[in-house]
Structure 1
Amino acid sequence: MSSGLLPCVVIASTAQAEAARCLLLTATQAVYAGDIAFNVDNAMAAPDSDAMAVLLGDVVIGFYRLDYPTAAFATQAVDRRLVTLRAFALGLAWQGRGFGLPVLAACCADLALRHPERLTLALNVHAANVIAVHLYTRAGFVDSGEIVRGGRGGPQHLMRRALGVGQWAP
């Protein structure tokens, strides 16, 4: 990392949400992470989501959303021990600096602290996004073997990570 600071994660304030809306992504990353402004607004408005700002000091360098399932999805029953990570992205100016792994560690630590009843963090990652697959694997996520079809970026791997155990530390 180019800075001695470690990134931290917080539930986005109104000002932090506005800064997150302005994060620049590569065209490829936008396909994988989705429209950040849409995800910020949607997560801020949804009672079963958290809009999360990634901070380096006082600067918003990234965003992700956490969704807490409250209804059955497809053939799966509601699992109130599960949290879904979506729209994970660091702004273009902050990519390639080694922040991804510490941000995921901070995300998992934050969830374990705020929601100790939640035992698993799940995400879908596009099969072609080998950099993200590698990052998530290094952060302790395990490929479930399930493939989710469709989406703008193509087939996605379902990956899961246990919360509160074996946390990576910088």
Structure 2
Amino acid sequence: MSAKLVSYDSLNPRQRQQVEAIEVHQDQIKFSGDIHGALHTLLSKPGPGVKGFALLAEDVPVAFLLLKRPPALPVWADEHSATLHALQVDQRQQGKGYGKACLLALPAVAREAWPEIRGLELSVDADNAQAIGLYAKYGFVDSGEAYKGRIGYERRMGMSF
């Protein structure tokens, strides 16, 4: 598998169309949203606080994610971190290690985008055991805090550099 996490800004027009065609499994939409919501967040108010990244496999986008920094950083996040949002692997490409590839590449692309950050954080639904396990496997540590989120309780996880 040859996959590379690249900035959305670096995609050509065809690749941007392919990102728009990413399909999230129906069971995962409640956790990650869909690609249209993620792209709306990225493109509706462009600025330095939100960056999009696509995972390319053979130059075709198979996954997408957002990273946020101030002024778009969520209230629960540490000001010295970037936060991960809307990690979405196309349902037609799941089971091929693309989620893992995103998480392995994430620290380097986050530091390249914002060299001053000291870590990454994310919020994950407490009921999403599969995601919690995946994040933990690739270096995110559960803070032990649970709080009321948009669809139930959420856990905060982080990774320091």
CA shift, 1:25, in A, is 1.4
Match of 1:160 in 2: 158
Match of 2:59 in 1: 58
Instruction: Note if contact 1:55-1:61 (Cα within 8 Å) is conserved in structure 2.
Output: yes
The answer for unaligned runs of 5 or more in structure 2 is: none
**After superposition, where does 1:16-55 map in structure 2 within 5 Å?**
16-44=15-43, 45-47=45-47, 48-55=49-56
CA shift, 1:113, in A, is 3.0
For these two proteins, the number of residue pairs brought into alignment is 156
CA shift, 1:77, in A, is 8.7
Counting aligned pairs with the same residue, the percent is 29
Q: Does 1:70 align with 2:71?
A: yes
CA distance, structure 1, for counterparts of residue 23 and residue 74 of structure 2:
32
Q: TM-score, normalised by structure 2?
A: 0.86
The answer for unaligned runs of 5 or more in structure 1 is: 164-170
1:71–1:32: structure 2 CA closer, same or farther, 3 Å change rule?
A: closer
In structure 2, what residue type is equivalent to 1:155? Y
CA distance, structure 2, for counterparts of residue 114 and residue 86 of structure 1:
15
Q: TM-score, normalised by structure 1?
A: 0.82
In structure 2, what residue type is equivalent to 1:53? A
Instruction: Note if contact 2:55-2:98 (Cα within 8 Å) is conserved in structure 1.
Output: no
CA distance, structure 1, for counterparts of residue 126 and residue 149 of structure 2:
11
Runs of 4 or more consecutive aligned structure 1 residues displaced over 6 Å after TM superposition: none
Match of 1:148 in 2: 147
- RMSD value, Cα: 2.1
Cα deviations across residues 39-80 of structure 1 (Å, max 9, x unaligned)? 112213331100111111211001000111227865x6971x
CA distance, structure 2, for counterparts of residue 46 and residue 140 of structure 1:
30
1:100–1:151: structure 2 CA closer, same or farther, 3 Å change rule?
A: same
In structure 1, what residue type is equivalent to 2:16? A
Instruction: Note if contact 2:65-2:86 (Cα within 8 Å) is conserved in structure 1.
Output: yes
User: 97-106 vs 133-142, which deviates more?
Assistant: 97-106
CA distance, structure 1, for counterparts of residue 78 and residue 143 of structure 2:
18
SS at match of 1:96: coil
CA shift, 1:14, in A, is 6.0
1:17–1:158: structure 2 CA closer, same or farther, 3 Å change rule?
A: farther
Instruction: Note if contact 2:73-2:82 (Cα within 8 Å) is conserved in structure 1.
Output: no
In structure 2, what residue type is equivalent to 1:49? V
